[in-house]
Structure 1
Amino acid sequence: MTGLRHIAVTSAVAIAIASATSSSSAQLIVFDPNNYAQNVLTAARELQQINNQITSLQNQAQILINQARNLASLPYSSLQQLEHSMQRTQQLLAQAQRIAYDIKQIDQAFSTTYAPASTSGQDQALVANAQTRWQNSVAGLQDALRVQAIVVGNLDANRAQMSALISSSQGATGALQASQAGNQLLGLQAQQLADLTAAVAAQGRAQNLETAQRVAAQDQGREQLRRFLAPGRGYQPSNVQMFHQ
């Protein structure tokens, strides 16, 4: 500001000298150096204020641009595909044959079909239970293979989604897009864990049914042997016709 004041005073003095040495016929002009210097200083202050306002508006505009970028939504969404994959896996688990994932149904089966062989039951009942247990084991193995097929089939879709999400995350223009990409990656990971859980559950179910079948078969074998060796119920020879005349 001192420099501006010095310039204003110097200009005023120069104008005053020029006016004094002008032709005598020229009209005398009254000039107030102090007033002129004050006007120059006022104009300079106003110009500085305008420059400050322009700078402030530019900063505010940049802040708004950054906020808009941070609030911009991610253009890619994998939610629908993830939901579809999880629904397919859940449907397969719900379609489990014979002994499914139901506590009441399991308890009922182990109190009847897989229960210890009764000493008073008919031989036909023992055979029927053995046949049912075998069918349960086969159904469990088939269900496990179906779930595993779905899980393997989801691998290609999951790989494509992961690639798209990583690309979207790397090209994110703001915090919201980066956060949404990260959340979707977590969703994809959760879906993969759900597939893994389903595969493990299906495989465990098949193995458990197979183990239960072997245990029940051993118990039934002991009962059948007891009946075979029991007095009065042992083996009775009989004539068997192998060929028809």
Structure 2
Amino acid sequence: MKKNLYRYAALAGLIAAAMLPAGSMIAPAAAQIGGIVHDPRNYAQNILTAARTLEQINNQIKQLQNQATSLVNEARNLQSLPTSTLQELQGQVDRTRGLLAEAQRIAFDVGDTQKAFDARYKGAALSGPQAALVANAEARWNDSVGAFQDAMKVQAGVVTNMGAARQSISTLVTASQSATGALQAAQAGNQLLALQSQQLGDLAAAIAAQGRAEMLDAARAAAAEAEGRERFRRFRKGN
């Protein structure tokens, strides 16, 4: 009961102070109830201090909440992409390289190419004995046929890789769209770039194999023309 009287007295003092004109504000008198002195002005100051303290606490709570949200976002950005197509891409590259390594008669090697041309396409190969001319002509024909067969095998391998590449693209695009952070999105993009590089490698391999076949066929035609001139020269000399 006494506590309620104290509160009513304090409230009455605050109301009375608030109703005074602006120019006639005077220090409120302390109220004495039951032998206990209650100062309304001190009570109001305590309430104001408590309100400010509560506001500071709320601000600190908001800062902690923002920091927690930031940490959660950073954790998401650091999560790795659960999907990887590296093994499939390496397998496709290895298959294409294997097809190129199976090149018949003349490998994709500068030294081997030079040796083959020296032996069958120029110089003594076009001016030797009759049996040697026939053998070299057959060897050049086999080179051309083998090169065209190699080109077709590489092209077939590239077409086969296209099916696997299509599946990889679908997987990576889906993973990119469902990425939860910056790292996952970046990793998906990097894998798509790797897939594009693999496809460019397949295209380069197909072009190289096709070009090799066409160049060998052109070299065969040029060698056959030179051999024909040699045969004609011998024919005339024999007459």
Q: Is the 8 A contact 1:82 1:191 kept in 2?
A: yes
* TM superposition outliers: structure 1 runs of 4+ over 3 Å: 14-17, 116-120
Which residue of 168, 180, 186 corresponds with 1:161? 168
More divergent stretch after superposition (39-48 vs 54-63): 39-48
Corresponding residue for residue 240 of structure 1? none
Letter paired with 1:105: D
Within the alignment, does 1:96 sit opposite 2:96 as a pair? no
Letter paired with 1:47: L
Corresponding residue for residue 49 of structure 2? 42
For each residue in 1:179-218, what CA deviation from the matched residue of structure 2 results, as whole angstroms up to 9, or x when unmatched?
1111111111111000000000000001111111111111
Within the alignment, does 1:184 sit opposite 2:191 as a pair? yes
Letter paired with 1:11: L
What is the correspondence of 1:70-81 to structure 2 with a 5 Å cutoff?
A: 70-81=77-88
Letter paired with 1:175: A
Within the alignment, does 1:113 sit opposite 2:144 as a pair? no
Give the CA deviation at 1:165.
1.1
Q: Is the 8 A contact 1:116 1:220 kept in 2?
A: no
Corresponding residue for residue 224 of structure 1? 231
Within the alignment, does 1:69 sit opposite 2:90 as a pair? no
More divergent stretch after superposition (119-128 vs 157-166): 119-128
Identity %: 56
What is the correspondence of 1:5-20 to structure 2 with a 5 Å cutoff?
A: 11=11, 13=13
Structure number with the higher helix fraction is 2
Give the CA deviation at 1:38.
2.7
Query: In the aligned structure 1, how far is the partner of 2:121 from the partner of 2:172?
Result: 49
Letter paired with 1:36: Y
Cα separation, partners in 2 of 1:32 and 1:225, compared to 1, 3 Å: same
Give the CA deviation at 1:31.
1.3
Within the alignment, does 1:144 sit opposite 2:151 as a pair? yes
Letter paired with 2:185: A
Give the CA deviation at 1:14.
6.4
Structure 2 residue matching 1:30: 3-state secondary structure: strand
Q: Structure 1 length normalisation: TM-score?
A: 0.82
Within the alignment, does 1:204 sit opposite 2:203 as a pair? no
Q: Structure 2 length normalisation: TM-score?
A: 0.84
Give the CA deviation at 1:120.
5.8
Unaligned runs of 5+ in 2: 1-8, 16-27
Unaligned runs of 5+ in 1: 1-8, 235-245
Q: Is the 8 A contact 1:117 1:126 kept in 2?
A: no
Q: Is the 8 A contact 1:92 1:147 kept in 2?
A: yes
Query: In the aligned structure 2, how far is the partner of 1:119 from the partner of 1:63?
Result: 79
Give the CA deviation at 1:41.
2.1
Letter paired with 2:212: R
More divergent stretch after superposition (158-167 vs 190-199): 158-167
Cα separation, partners in 2 of 1:12 and 1:57, compared to 1, 3 Å: farther
Report the count of equivalent residues.
218
Cα separation, partners in 2 of 1:116 and 1:203, compared to 1, 3 Å: same
